[in-house]
Structure 1
Amino acid sequence: MTVPRIAEARDAAAPSSQEQHARHVRMLTAAAELASEKELARVQMHDVAKRAGVAIGTLYRYFPSKTHLFAAVMVDQLERLASKFARRPAYDSPQDAMRGVLVRATRGLLRQPALSTAMVMSTSTANHDLVPDAGRVDRLFRQMLLDAAGITEPTEVEVTSVRLLIQLWFGVVQSCLNNQISLAQAESDIRRACELLLVDLRTNRPGDADDIAPAS
């Protein structure tokens, strides 16, 4: 696999007007569609611009490289996922809630393996100082897990445990995408990781039964 190159170390533009937001959505959608059809190395920026109906200069203004582009696509995908997780059944414990989020996220990614490979590769190889959306992926995922567990004021130990869990999860997903392990093995690994890493998670806090927000 070819790792996408960051062509230029500069901040990406952010959409401000309604028209700019619409273009931004079209570019993310076009990138996701193309990456679903072929591997990342074969996705060309000019093809993304053409499918989105924007000038190539506009695409590069928002996304200076493919790494920027697919890190942003992953942010968009996670935000969509988080909105789905807002409709959730009850879990028996915060640990089960986090496991539920990770399992559902894994199943969702594996339904679109080519796109998921592009997103995971771009995010995991990105320098967060140069590609701010890569850092947003980590923060979004952490918040999804904390929300699922009903943790509003995490301790330092809990933050560390969640960070390690996310890093491990990325590795599990990458192994699945590379056909090194099966989905069943991935879910077993996720379950075991939650058992080991979340052992210190506080489970007896006031309001836990009402606050737990598991994945639907």
Structure 2
Amino acid sequence: MPRIAEARQPAEPTSAEQKDRYRRILRAASKLGAEHGLERMQMNDVAKEAGVAIATLYRYFPSKTDLFVGVLHSQIQRLSAAGSGSGSGSAPAATGRRADAVADVLIGAGQRMLERPQLATAMLQANNAAQLQGGREYTEANAAFHRVLLAALGVPEPEDEDYRMVRITEQTWYGVLVSVLNGVITAEQADADIRLATRLLLGPRYDGTGAAS
């Protein structure tokens, strides 16, 4: 009986030259993904745009799923860097509520993603597919996003319940974004939905209130 090959894990860039090629690939994927989406974009075109050999592209990203999860991860890293630029974590919300601080992060991230809807759709499709596959890129992207939300909540030493809360909040946010991309709700409605959801989900535990006003 023939042996079924296991999915190969992506290589991780280590040298400065490898990291430069890696960043060029992500920039090329972002550009072409915004123009063509996940299905119509070709890996050969990404390699050409990035100025790398196709074998190099596949070494770091064995599939389109890996590639667009990598793009999502890079966006989360920029979000994390922006929040920690002052060295003190995310800026507090104007209301003083920690739930609103999380909403501010999610609304800002969502607005940036929705500026390029085809790329946003590609990243969300890849993230959904990667949940079944696991792998380093997905695991790191998922953990990085949770760190961003926990920092906004002001939780330096999270417990299991804290991770559970940010997972639920993250899943709600993804669902709201999908509704916008599918034309079910407007971007303005999405912002309001995210604000309400964070207050209902996080307010009772972190702000001592369940008020949605």
Q: Is the 1:28–1:73 Cα contact (8 Å) retained in structure 2?
A: yes
Give the drift of 1:8. 6.7
CA positional deviation for 1:191: 1.5
Which of the pair has the greater relative contact order for Cα pairs under 8 Å at 6+ separation?
A: 1
- Give CA-to-partner distance per residue, 1:45-79, whole Å, 9 cap, x none: 00000111111111111110000011011101111
Say if 2:91 and 2:152, in contact at 8 Å, map to a contact too: no
For residues 105 and 202 of structure 2, the distance between their equivalents in structure 1, rounded to whole angstroms, comes to 14
Secondary structure of the 1:126 match is helix
Structure 1 residue runs of 5 or longer lacking an equivalent are 1-6, 205-216
The 1:185/1:124 distance shift into structure 2, 3 A limit, reads: same
- The number of aligned residues is 198
How far did 1:133 drift? 1.5
Q: Which amino acid aligns with 2:186?
A: S
1:71-124 per-residue CA deviation (whole Å, 9 max, x = no partner) reads 011101111122222355432021111111111111111111111111111012
Assess, with a 3 A threshold, how the Cα gap between structure 1 residues 199 and 70 changes in structure 2: closer, same or farther: same
Contact 2:100/2:199 (<8 A) preserved: no
Q: 1:8·1:65 contact (CA, 8 Å) conserved in 2?
A: no
Q: Does 1:145 pair with 2:143?
A: no
CA RMSD of aligned residues (A): 1.9
Letter in structure 2 aligned against 1:28: L
**CA offsets, 1:151-179, max 9 Å, x none?**
11223222211110101111111111111
Counterpart of 1:95, as a letter, is A
C-alpha distance in 2 between matches for 1:179 and 1:10: 36
User: Normalising by structure 1, what TM-score?
Assistant: 0.85
Alignment partners' CA distance in 1, 2:92 and 2:197: 21
Structure 2: runs of 5 or more not aligned: 209-213
Query: Does the CA-based 8 Å contact 2:102-2:153 persist in structure 1?
Result: yes
Cα deviation digits, residues 122-169 of structure 1 (max 9, x gap): 012213654322222221111111111211122322221111010111
What's 2:65 paired with? 67
Shift of 1:187: 1.2
Alignment of 1:62-101 (within 5 A): 62-86=60-84, 89-91=91-93, 92-101=96-105
Spell out the pairing of 1:126-145 with structure 2 (5 A cutoff).
126-127=130-131, 129-145=133-149
Q: Percent identity?
A: 42
1:53 corresponds to: 51
Within the alignment, does 1:37 sit opposite 2:41 as a pair?
A: no
Aligned mates of 2:74, 2:49 — CA distance in 1:
18
Give, as a single letter, the amino acid of the residue that structure 2 aligns with 1:174. V
